Amino acid sequence: MKRMTRNGPPKVHLLMVFQGSCYFFSLDNLTWTQANDSCAQKQAHLVIINSRAEQDFLTSTEQVTSWIGLFKEGQKGNHRWMDGSTPTYTNWESKKLHDNGTAPACMMIHNHGYWSNFSCESGRFAFICERRQNC
């Protein structure tokens, strides 16, 4: 399996299947909202990571910081996945959790596998879409 890097051709996209879900890896640098809209155009959503096995699959495939489907609304807000569920598995990089005050924060996965947050509309990063049916 080839790993994605920024050293390859620009705008590399990769489609992979893992445990019944399709994953679309995009190197387009978009805001979290734009990335979510791009996923929706593919009848998908930003990835929801439910297990260590899924986490390991993602980090073995991508090698760039990418948006995932986890967000937090407000300073005291709870983290929620795109489908409204609360995380049962996390992989936080505690040093990279930024206090955005009352602004929403959106989560990303780094090439080393840990997660951190960033302003949803200020950052432009690659992203991972997931479609759970009809791969």
Q: How far is Cα 105 from Cα 103, in angstroms, rounded to an integer?
A: 6
Encode the chain (135 residues) as per-residue pLDDT tens digits: 334 444 444 455 778 889 989 999 999 999 999 999 999 999 999 999 999 999 999 998 877 999 999 999 766 668 899 999 999 999 988 755 555 556 679 999 998 889 999 999 988 999 999 998 776
CATH code matching the domain that covers 19-131, chosen among 1.10.10.10, 3.10.100.10, 3.40.50.920, 3.40.50.150 = 3.10.100.10
pLDDT score recorded for residue 11:
55
Domain boundaries, the chain: 19-131
Of 44, 62, 54, residue with least CA distance to 19: 54
- Is the pTM higher than 0.95? no
Strand 125-131 and strand 66-72: the pairing is: parallel
